[in-house]
Each structure stands twice: as C-alpha cells, then as structure tokens.
Amino acid sequence: MLLLLLCGALAVAGIFLLRLTVFKQSRCKSDAKLHGKTVIVTGANTGIGKTTAMDLARRGAKVILACRDRRRAEAAIQEIIEKTGNQQVIFMQLDLASLQSVRSFAENFLKSESRLDLLINNAGIISDGKTKDGFGIIFGVNHLGPFLLTLLLLDRLKASGPSRVVNVASKAYESGKVDFDFLKTHKELSLGNGNMQLITTYCHSKLCNVLFTYELAKRLQGSNVTCYSLHPGFINTDISRYYSRWFRLLFTPLVWLLASDAEAGAQTSLHCALEPGIEHLSGHYFDQCSPLTNIDPKARDDATSKKLWELSESFCGLS
C-alpha cells in the first residue's frame, strides 16, 4: 500500500512538473492603458471571456459584455467593477445562436456607442442541437454568429482605427475540415450528437475561425483594422458542460491535472488585442503570445477561405 501511495504521489508530482514546463503559458507583457477606448467581449460572463474583460476594464476601457445570459453577465459585471473600480462595464444582450439577435445587438451598439476599438470574438460552445435559424449550433455559435457580428461592426471599427478583431480559435483546428457540399445541404459541419462527434464538429468550427481571420485580413488590407486568431491553450473552463455525465467523469481528472486556469487562457487574447507592432501580422494565428509560422496549410488556403466567406455571407443573407 505504501508503495502504491508513493507511486501515486510521484505520478501527480510528474504531472504538475509537466504543467510547469510543457504546458506553461506565456503572458501578455503589454502595459497599454485603454482610457477612452471601447471594447466588446463575447461570452464574457465566465471563463476566458470574463478574465479578458476584467483585464481590459482594469486598463480603463469601456467594456461591453456581449452575452446571452443576463443573470450571469450582471454577476460578472458586479465582480469586475468591484475588482477594477471601473464603472464603465456594461451588459448587452447577444445570442449568437440567433442571427436576428446578432443584428439587434449590432443595431443597439451602433446607436449607443460612438466608437469600437476592440472586438474580441471569444464565445464558443460544444453542444448538439440547432440554432434559431436551423444551423448546427456549433457552426452557428462558433462561426456564423461571430462572422455576421464582425461584418456588421466593421464600419465602426474602421472609423475608430487603429482597431483590432481577435478571434479565439483553438489548436483543435488541426483536426478540422470544411465539407462545403455537406454544409450547404445540412447547414452544419457534421452529423451526430455523441461526445466524440461533437468534439469533431468543434474542431471543424475552429478551422472556420482561423480561415475567417485569414480571409478577413485580406479584405481589410489598406484599412486601419487588423485581425488575429489564436489558441488559448488547454484551459479549464465550463465549455464541456454539455458533455454526458459519464464523459465528464472521465474528462474532469485530465482537466484538473493538466489544464491551466482562465487567467492563463486569456493571455494570448490580450496579447493579440494589445501588443504594439504586430499590425503586419494581421490574419496570423497565435499561440503562447507568438505568431505560428508552421500553421497547417489548410488554414491558409485562399480558395477555401474565400469559399467559406461567400457561403457565410449567403447563410447570413448578406449576398
């Protein structure tokens, strides 16, 4: 028994050593102040989004928490105000699973706010089901909603420039693909609602995030708006809350042992939002607060990114 306990203790120590080395998260080093700036963070009532909003509020920005759940958002706002002393933290209703909600949010924002300096598309989901417009919910919330939101706010971003769009993607994009024939027919990235199939669909949606950022950068050339996608790291958030109970029982110990916290997960988002001198890297994918040069070629394919853009426009009624 003593030997088993000793082996267990050594295993746990080894795992924590692995966290401190292989899984160590870089930190945003920017000391930028954001007084007079306005930012939007989607999905900012919890996890990486809330931590990102907290940091931006601490720097003096006016922070819009764009969230679906008013109760959770207002609780997050109260906490952010208490910890930062910044009273300019505001909730605005946004349900990325409804294109009408996205349009209403953009309309309300443009009426009430005169500038937009940062748009951080942070919200993401792993769940089965459909959006209110009949799309697969992972495709709708992770790609289509943020796509429409960004396009509706682009003119305000340009007028407020220099400004930035930050899209929280994931290293999971490496396992993703976009089957356009399937997407046109089924309005979703893949079929199936088992845990592994949902993860596969999530990977496809993260590839969409990276492709969208790449295409957006090309279309923004010559403007004063830049954009970046990123991998936040292996982070302990509540994105897995829609997994089955048995899958969570298997997954939770792995997360507890290896995953970093939300503060670590926000660092690359903050780097892309704040670091000076990275404008020439618009459209690039970042990890550990650095641009990756060895990104999978499928994420920088001109034909695929253009086709995804045009199909997304069609789905959103923009073309």
> Would you say residue 290 has pLDDT above 60?
yes
- Whether 227 is covered by a domain: the verdict is yes
Q: Is 66 helix (H, G, I), strand (E, B) or coil?
A: strand
- CB–CB of 131/140 below 8 Å? yes
Q: How far apart are CA 187 and CA 181, in angstroms?
A: 10
> Would you say residue 237 has pLDDT above 60?
no
- Whether 95 is covered by a domain: the verdict is yes
Q: What is the pLDDT of residue 289?
A: 97
Kindly report the average pLDDT of the chain as a whole number.
Answer: 89
- Whether 33 is covered by a domain: the verdict is yes
| Domain range enclosing 229 | 28-315
- Whether 10 is covered by a domain: the verdict is no
Element holding 147 (H helix, E strand): helix 145-159
Q: What is the pLDDT of residue 241?
A: 52
> Would you say residue 319 has pLDDT above 90?
no
Give the predicted TM-score (pTM) of the model. 0.88
Query: For 183-211, how does the pLDDT look when each residue is reduced to its tens digit (9 = 90+)?
Result: 999 999 998 888 899 999 999 999 999 99
The three-point CA angle 151-153-154 to 5° equals 65
Query: For 106-143, how does the pLDDT look when each residue is reduced to its tens digit (9 = 90+)?
Result: 999 999 999 999 999 999 999 999 999 999 999 999 99
Closest CA to 53 of 66, 63, 67, 43: 63
CB atoms within 10 A of CB 253: 9
Give catalytic residue positions: 202
Q: How far apart are CA 57 and CA 138, in angstroms?
A: 29
- Whether 255 is covered by a domain: the verdict is yes
Pairing of strands 290-291, 285-287: antiparallel
- Whether 6 is covered by a domain: the verdict is no
- Whether 303 is covered by a domain: the verdict is yes
Q: What is the pLDDT of residue 179?
A: 97
Count of structural domains, the chain: 1
**Confidence bin at 245 (pLDDT 50/70/90):** low
Query: For 67-111, how does the pLDDT look when each residue is reduced to its tens digit (9 = 90+)?
Result: 999 999 999 999 999 999 999 999 999 999 999 999 999 999 999
Q: How far apart are CA 183 and CA 311, in angstroms?
A: 9
Query: For 136-189, how does the pLDDT look when each residue is reduced to its tens digit (9 = 90+)?
Result: 999 999 999 999 999 999 999 999 999 999 999 999 999 999 999 999 999 999
- Whether 3 is covered by a domain: the verdict is no
Here the CATH number for the domain that contains residue 51 is 3.40.50.720
